[in-house]
Structure formats: structure tokens, C-alpha cells
Amino acid sequence: MRGTAMNCCKVSRLLSAYLDSELTGAEMLAIRDHLRTCSTCQVEIQGLKVAKRLSGCEVPQPPVGMESRLIRAVQAAKNNPLASTRPRRFTANLSFAAASMLLVGLAAVFWSAAKEPISVPAQPYSREQGPKPPPTHTELAGAAPESMHNSDQEVQQEREFVDGSNPLSGPASAIAYADR
Amino acid sequence: MAFTIAHIFEKSTNEAVSFDEFEGLMRQTQKQAFSLAYRLTGNMTEAEDLLQDAYIRAFRFFNRYDRSMPFASWLFRIVTNAHIDTVRRKTKLKISSLDQGGVDGTKTMEVEDSTSAPDAVLTNSSVNEYLQRALDSMNHEFKMAVILADVEGMAYEEIADIMRTSIGTVRSRIHRGRKHLKSHLLKSAPGLYERYCNELL
């Protein structure tokens, strides 16, 4: 008898690797010997063969013109290195523009509200007081370094995403999220 | 050195010469990458979108590509990461309004019945449909390992490199993925399973 005899439990765990010839020579021989005599493992390997054959069944051909569309998209990204990598769609752009305008508006409202000190008016309201003047450009300029900082962070995050080195954007956390 | 927008712009300009090399690699890998993207997404349009996303990311960080490893392996890692990212975004966007119910306040939703699908006519498209349904019902990591092994025909070592895990884990994921596929098929399309069993005899 060649190699070490294996029991069904051990063989069962190695059957897929056996089908893919991803075992050592001794393991391959031991499993082959076991399969000659074990009908349970024969049935199991048959099922795995079907699964392997089916999952490897032919994928449709890529859509016509896909190659040139992809090259054009990469060329466009080359000319505009800071553009989004996401495929552009009209509806997506429209909703993004609307959401951006809303966010800018809300940010302006909250920012001006935060700048105003909360105080009880010393005198009752009178028409002569008039509305509070809008914030000046100098006041608004205070937000610029913050937005710059966010943009830098996004670029850094994208670098880490490609590397898979950032635990927050890498496969592990994302898979866990996707599988919830 | 701080990573600024000006820095990335300068880098891209310096690497403009590498576009020809990148284009050559794109032409070589796009068909193989499409197979992976198609099995991951289950549809042609989304597969193309995913590839576009992945190739642009790959081009932007082409200077970090280690030429000692195959470009396809590096690209596939980006494709799988981009897919996970897309799934995560979609999960976040699955919002349904409860205010738009019927007159009596009830709301009906169409839910696919995967068990009632007839498997009498086994055309290529229906085989694809069953396979995709089985793959989609699978754990994400198992699905990825099975696709890389069976669709792309990659060795376990390459898969381990792409998925950043050990060969033992890859072996286990592929095995469990195939077992899931087998039991899903036995349950939802026994006719198809039988046909494949007979063909293999």
C-alpha cells in the first residue's frame, strides 16, 4: 500500500484540491486509493465535479466595443487625474449635483448659525434694527483649509484601497459589511 | 512627504509615457477580466462598469504595480476590491419608503421565488441563470475563490496572493464554495444536476 491510508473525514476535506491537482504526490495517491474502495467519497467527488464543471461553464463574450470604451475611459482619466473612477451616468450626475447644492446650502446655514453667539436681545424687536448682514468673504474663507484636508484624505484612502492596506477600506471589513 | 493633489497630478504627468504599456496590458487582459467581472456581478452592463472602475484605478496607481508579478493578478485584486466597494455602496442605498403603501396602509413587494423556477428547458442562458443565482447566494469569499479557480483557472497560490490569505484558506474556501454550489443546484435545479452527472460518467 502506497503512502498513508486516509479516512473519509480527511479525504472529504481534500477532494476539491484533489480535483484541482493542488496536493502533494503522496496525498494524491492516498486519495486515489481511498476513492477506489469508498462509495461515499465517490458520490461526494461526483457532486464536486459537477459544481466545478458548472462554475467553469462558458461566460458570454464581452459586449461589442467594450475594449475601445475602456481605453477611452482610461484616456479621459489620464487627462483628468482627479476625476471620479465611477462610470458616469446622467441620473447619477444629476442627483450628485442636487445633493451637493443641498449640502452646501445646509453647511452655510449651520456655519452662520454656529458663528452667531446665542444671546437674549437686550431690547424688544423693532423694525429699525434690520436683518443681520450676511457673513463676509473673509469669514467664509475659514472653511477652505478643511475642504482641502478632506480631499487629501480621499486621495490617500483611494491609494490604500488599491493596496488593500487600509483595514477600513480593504476587503476584510468590506466583505463583513457586504455579508451582513 | 505629504500626499497632496499637486503631487498626484505631477506623478500622473510623469507617467504619461507608460500609457502605451498600460494600453497593451489592457488589451491583453480585458477579456479575462470581463469573465471575472461578469461572474461577480451577474450582468453585462455592471461587469463593464466594474471593469472601467478597476482599470482607471489601476492606471492611476500603475507606478505601484510590481512588474515581477503578473499584471492580471494585480488587476484582479483591484477588480475584487472594487466589486466589494460597489456591493457595500448598494447595500447602503437599499432604501424603501413605507409611506408609499396602499390605501389600507399595506405595502406589497415583489420577492423572487427561486424554488419555483422550472428547469425543464435547459438552455445555455438558463444554466447561466442557475449558476449565477447559486453564486449570488454564496458567501462573498467563497464565491470569489470559486470564480478565480474555476472561471479564471488560477492556481491556489495565485488566488491566495490576490485574496491576501493562505493557501490552506483558499483550499477550504473553494471546497466549501463548491459544496454550497452542489447543494444549491440539487435543491433548485435537480434536472440540471442530473444532466451534468450523466455527462461526467
B135, A55: Cβ pair inside 8 Å? yes
Give the pLDDT of residue B95: 55
pLDDT at A136 (0 to 100): 47
Q: How high is the mean pLDDT of chain A?
A: 72
Q: Tens digits of per-residue pLDDT, B191-200?
A: 888 888 888 7
- A168 pLDDT tier (thresholds 50, 70, 90): very low
ipTM of the complex: 0.73
Q: What is the pLDDT of residue B51?
A: 95
- Option in B59, B182, B186 nearest A74 (CB): B59
Residue A26 is predicted with a pLDDT of 94
Res. A135: pLDDT tops 90: no
C-alpha A43/C-alpha B190 separation (Å) is: 15
Q: pLDDT of A32-86, one tens digit each?
A: 999 999 999 999 999 999 999 988 888 889 999 999 999 999 999 888 766 655 5
For residue A104, give the amino acid letter. Answer: V
Do you know the residue count of chain A?
Answer: 180
CA distance B56 to chain A (A): 5
Chain B partners within 8 Å of A63 (Cβ):
44, 48
C-alpha to C-alpha distances, B197 to A16, A56, A70, B24, B156, nearest whole angstrom? 16, 15, 40, 41, 26
Instruction: Show Cβ contacts of residue B146 under 8 Å, excluding neighbours closer than 6 positions.
Output: A55, B135, B138, B173, B174, B177, B178, B181
- How far apart are the CA of B103 and the nearest CA of chain A, in angstroms? 30
B9 within 8 A of A82, measured Cβ to Cβ: yes
Does residue B115 have a pLDDT over 50? no
Chain A contact set for B39 (CB, 8 A) = 59
Name chain A contacts of B12, Cβ cutoff 8 Å: 78, 81
Inter-chain touch A17–B156, beta carbons under 8 Å? yes
Residue A107 near chain B (CB below 8 Å): no
Cite the DSSP H helix spans in A56-143. 66-79, 90-115, 137-140
Q: Is the pLDDT of residue B11 over 90?
A: no
Does B51 contact A66 at a Cβ distance shorter than 8 Å? yes
Tell me what pLDDT residue B1 has. 46
pLDDT for position B67: 86
Q: Which residue has the higher pLDDT, A7 or B149?
A: B149
pLDDT value, residue B96? 53
Q: Is the pLDDT of residue A106 over 80?
A: yes
Distance from CA of A141 to the nearest CA of B (A): 20
Tens of pLDDT, residue by residue over B12-52, are: 555 555 788 899 999 999 999 999 999 999 889 999 999 99
Give the pLDDT score at A169. Answer: 52
**A70 at interface of B, judged by CB pairs closer than 8 A:** yes
pLDDT on residue B193:
84
Find residues 47-66 of chain A whose CB sits inside 8 Å of chain B: 47-60, 62-63, 66
Q: What is the share, in percent, of chain A residues with pLDDT greater than 90?
A: 31
The Cα–Cα gap between A77 and B182 comes to 42
Q: Searching chain A, which residue's CA lies closest to the CA of residue B80?
A: A171
Q: What is the pLDDT of residues B147-195, one digit of tens each?
A: 999 999 999 999 999 999 999 999 999 999 999 999 998 898 888 888 8
Provide the percentage of residues in chain B whose pLDDT is more than 90. 48
Q: Tell me, what's the pLDDT at A150?
A: 57
When pLDDT is averaged across residues A87-110 and rounded to a whole number, the result is 69
pLDDT reading at A172 higher than 70: no
Q: Do B131 and A54 touch (CB under 8 A)?
A: yes
